[in-house]
Structure 1
Amino acid sequence: MATRSGTNAALVVVDVQAGVVATAWDRDRIVANIARAVERARAAGVPVIWVQHEDDDLPRDSVDWKWVPELQATPGELWIHKHFNSSFEDTALLAELDRLGVSRLFLAGAATNWCIRATAYGALERGFDLTLLSDAHTTKDLALAPGRVVPAQVVIDDLNTVMQWLGYPGRTNAAVPVAEAVFG
């Protein structure tokens, strides 16, 4: 069990913004899976928290900064704006999760190797139980040098595997497809 107080869950959807996912691996399928996760969380009464990144490459109110049209928040759902990879760093996310009595997070969004990974570790380090939705996060191929590319699917598979085996005291973590996630 989580080391946080509270017994509630929340779905955290990170950076599914036009410029972040425009050329992401398997974009349409992943965004559809995220939409299914949002529907399932709402149906189970689990709060959905939307996290939106902003920096010099993704300026507020730019076309690339805007959320993809396939995903829409409903009135009353929380928006967290961030400037760093982790959704926890220099944001109100932790305070909002504490206010809601959340000890278990479901995580989806982009980009796997940056903001999803940093948020996943940040959640575990802060005592949350974590379920990474294994078919609801994506990234782009990572070009390391000429002729050296890490394919996006390898990055995604790596984080999914890590989240199945990583251990933190008093916490549980997993990576499961949206269809197998138990939101209630």
Structure 2
Amino acid sequence: MCIWLDECPVQEYEQDLYAMLLFLKERIAYQQADHKGECPVPTDTKTGLIPGHTAYAVTKWRYRTTTALVGVCVVSLCLMRAGVPQSWFTDTLVAVMAVYCFTLIVLVWWADARSSAEKRAGYTTIRLGDKQLLQRDPYMGRTIRLAGGEYLSRKEFGDIVAATKAEASRKSVLSR
């Protein structure tokens, strides 16, 4: 009888099941370590980034949603000050504001969760993130600032992000 999955002999037809069991074993160990606060975050071997969207991407969506919400609020306030009576249009604006508010709440939570996961992995993708962490570009995962180094200027960071985004999109097109 096998105590650990790693010690079990595997027949060829059982490899898929074996791989799934190894994955589940890893996930259980990961969750147990996470509850203790000592969880090493698994990273992608190609980029060094944790799987999923980066904190940079989610934060960028959060800023865009906030801008759109402020725009809708300004339009609503202007219509209210102008004395426009309630109609289907104003009702639609209120519904749009509600959707934006809900989306913004989710994005604030998600950005914080991604930022915390990156911090546990030992890096940040946010321009003004934790200075004591490595800073990686949000698309290719390359180190762009060493831990403790000075923050990159907005222009430097923007140039790096634009270049790596273009490179990442070229690679994704070529891999199809």
> Do the structures match in fold with TM over 0.5?
no
- Structure with the bigger percentage of helix: 2
Instruction: Give the structure-2-normalised TM-score.
Output: 0.30
Instruction: Give the structure-1-normalised TM-score.
Output: 0.29
* Higher relative contact order, chain-length normalized (CA < 8 Å, sep 6+): 1
- Structure with the bigger percentage of strand: 1
